[in-house]
Amino acid sequence: QHLIQVINPNTSVAMTHTIGEAARSVAAPTSRIVAVCPTQGVESIEGHFDEAIAAVGVLEQIKLGKAQGASGHVIACFGDPGLLAARELATGPVIGIAEAAMHTATLLATRFSIVTTLPRTVIIARHLLRQYGFEHHCAALHAIDLPVLALEDGTGLAQQKVRERCIQAMREDNSGAIVLGCGGMANLAQELTAELGIPVIDGVTAAVKMVESLIALGFGTSKHGDLAYPNKKPLSGCFDMLS
Ligand SMILES: O=C(O)C[C@H]1NC(=O)NC1=O
């Protein structure tokens, strides 16, 4: 059995549950999924400020996951906050849900669209497309213009908006696939794929399978170069927990 730690970088317990359930729904019998979120931080991540705060919580969870024997880690927020810092700390593979969903989309279609929450998250997704080299693969980005936690408010409004935006994207963008741009949308992908007849990709499930593949191939995060373990030095104040 391999323990795979799935980290929801925001502190929403409801979203952590949604993410954990999605991860378990695709996990191999040889995988044990543990879904966690930071003990302190921000309840939803909707910009660079939130991502900076969340990144510290991600690092704390990576450290805890390593101590529990995790073979790999998923960062289950569409901004992939703290991804490279987490890779320095980790021994096993660390996959962000944005990169996982984007990579998966490029294996299934020549162009994909992204449906996410807020307009400002669309801009951050553009930064990620550039960082990961997928700018030319992404036909368009759409926002449902609702806050992240609307996905957990129980009204179903956000889920309906995601569905409408996906249908619109399929009609207008000439994309062969759609990427869901929020960890809280993880439980929508399967139904939307069946209804729309094109791959609607959630990064949580995609990342879990990628981590499993890398573990099965015998790969961990490279420790040669800039993802080597951090240089040892004293960490003061609240950062002592990362020592
Ligand atoms: O920015 C977003 O919409 C997505 C991102 N925020 C968050 O708290 N979890 C996420 O996946």
- Segment (H or E) for 142: strand 138-143
Residue 166 corresponds to which tokens in the numbers above?
A: 């996906």
Q: Global pTM?
A: 0.98
Residue nearest to atom 2 of ligand 1 (CA): 182
Question: For ligand 1, what atom is nearest to the CA of residue 182?
Answer: 11
Q: Which of 44, 51, 58, 146 to mutate to test the pocket of ligand 1 (most atoms within 8 A of CB)?
A: 44
Question: For ligand 1, what atom is nearest to the CA of residue 149?
Answer: 8
pLDDT tens digits for range 16-59: 999 999 999 999 999 999 999 999 999 999 999 999 999 999 99
pLDDT tens digits for range 74-123: 999 999 999 999 999 999 999 999 999 999 999 999 999 999 999 999 99
* Mean pLDDT calculated for residue range 146-153: 97
Residue 238 burial (C-beta neighbours within 10 Å; 0-12, 13-18, 19+): exposed
* Ranges assigned E (strand) in the chain: 2-7, 31-36, 70-75, 94-96, 112-116, 138-143, 177-181, 200-202
Complex ipTM more than 0.90, yes or no: yes
Residues with CB under 6 A from ligand 1: 10, 44-46, 77-79, 116-117, 121, 148, 182-183
Compute the distance from residue 234 Cα to the ligand 1 centre, in Å.
32
Residue nearest to atom 1 of ligand 1 (CA): 46
